[in-house]
Chains A and B, each alone.
Chain A
Amino acid sequence: MLSYEHDDTIAHRLDPRSKLAVQIAFAAAALSHTSGRALVALTAITALFLTVAGVSILRTLSAYRFALVIIAIAPLVSAATLGPPWIDVADGLESARAGYRVVLVLLVSAAYVRSTRIRDSRAAVQRTIPGKPGQLLGVGIALVFRFFPVLQADVRRIRQASAARLGTERGAIDRASHIGLLGLTRAFDRADRLSLALRARCFAWNPTLPRLSFTRLDAPAFAVAVALGAGTFL
């Protein structure tokens, strides 16, 4: 599983905002080109980012294996044609090249995930998006992070209890609505208790955030983001 890992790489020392800028610019540049030369350049940039963030390629690919299956199937479906010649290699290759850049985008985003703490991302979101939407998004991300494992345990308990009572023998709709209803009522019970606690602590639109600061290291990162962004229009 991909997650933040404590380390001291250059990527770890960058401000999350410059890393997000690089991510978005890279995705934009990758999604606007499929030529062979562009893919070679994008591969080189990806390799650089992965090295800078200390990412293991194999572990990352295995974390994204679900996405990779469809990316691998797409060229086969594209190449298959109804009627002679049955297999259109050029069509399949075009789709394979398009799929390859998606793999690069996923790899680069692993560099962000590995090198950025959730609370830093949250602060970056909250500082970059102005006003109440930014506040809600920032606090919301923090709450999702906090409650994700709690609700995972809830869902696990619901499924185990249901299996112990032969719930696995029931029809698919029955099972789906059982997990859906119980999962949601429990989550909403928690939400209502949480909102009471938030109100008791004067939940406000203007709380104090962790400090973020750009350093000299961020200048080259922003330069890369701008260059990649410009590359989108080449």
Chain B
Amino acid sequence: MATEHGAVEPVRDEIVRQFARAALLAALIGAVAPVSIPIPFSPAPITLQVLFVFLAGLVLGPVWGTVSLTLYLAAGAVGIPVFAGFSAGPGVLFGRSGGYLWAYPVAAGLIGLLVHRGTDLRAPADVSLPVLVGALVAGTAVIYGMGSGYMAWLLDMTVVEALMVGAVPFVPVELLKLVAAIAIVKSGRLQPVGT
């Protein structure tokens, strides 16, 4: 068996902590995929994946939030059943929901950047409410913009048709997730590494 013979190059402690959190958050996003909470007067129930995309940006920050969601996509692509409906495989990334999936790391990075204003993390509980709301709205816009845009191109629909199928039924529910995400970080029970 081929082995590495060079000197061992240990990973820095802070990176190990952030990396372990990023990997477990990626696994958690897969684990909550089957959870759906019905809400009155809406055809779409609350699913929790996007909530955790929000939390990845808020708690892990721009760098590790993006890493976490990239790991989620890679894990699904190589066959771990983490995508909606326990599906997996490289094809899902190019399939109907591919645009939403590729948007996850971008949205987590954007939310992290807006909330933490750089790569040094600060406690999200101390961040002002308008900044939190603005960051999450921007993240939602990225997810549904990329998701519907890709679906329109892929399935040969107009952008309006794609928005009717892929965004309009879900956006009201996203507002509830936004409130839930803010309630979670304002509880102060999740401390980012280094704060």
A residues sitting closer than 8 Å to B (CB atoms) are 1-4, 20, 23-24, 27, 30-31, 34, 63-67, 70-71, 73-75, 77-78, 94-95, 97-99, 102, 105-110, 112-113, 116, 118, 121-122, 125, 136-137, 139-141, 143-145, 147-148, 150-152, 154-155, 159, 172-173, 175-177, 179-181, 183-185, 187-188, 190-192, 194-195, 198-199, 202-208, 210-211
Please, how many residues of chain B have a CB less than 8 angstroms from a CB on the other chain? 79
Q: State which of B108-116, B123-131, B182-190 sits at the interface with chain A.
A: B182-190
Do B179 and A155 have beta carbons less than 8 Å apart? Answer: no
Give, as a whole number of angstroms, the nearest-CB distance from B180 to chain A: 4
The interface bits of chain B over 84-102 (1 if a CB of A lies within 8 angstroms of the residue's CB, else 0) are 1111111110111100000
Q: Identify which of B4, B25, B80, B180 contacts A177 (C-beta below 8 A).
A: B180
- State in angstroms the CA–CA spacing of A141 and B79 once bound together: 10
Q: Can you name the residue of chain A whose Cβ is closest to the Cβ of B155?
A: A74
| Contact B24–A194 (Cβ < 8 Å) | yes
Q: Does B135 contact A (CB under 8 A)?
A: no
Q: Whole-angstrom distance between the alpha carbons of A74 and B155 in the complex?
A: 7
Smallest Cβ-Cβ distance to A19: which chain B residue: B90
Residues of B whose CB lies within 8 Å of any CB of A are 1-4, 6, 8-11, 13, 16-17, 19-28, 30-32, 35, 37-39, 46, 48, 51-52, 55, 59, 67, 70-72, 74-75, 78-82, 84-92, 94-97, 151, 154-158, 161, 164-166, 176-177, 179-181, 183-184, 187, 189-190
- Point out the residue from A23, A63, A147 that lies within 8 Å of B90, measured CB to CB: A23
Interchain CB contact under 8 A, A65 and B85: yes
Closest to A122 in B: B78
- Out of A143, A180, A202, name the residue touching B52 (CB < 8 Å): A180
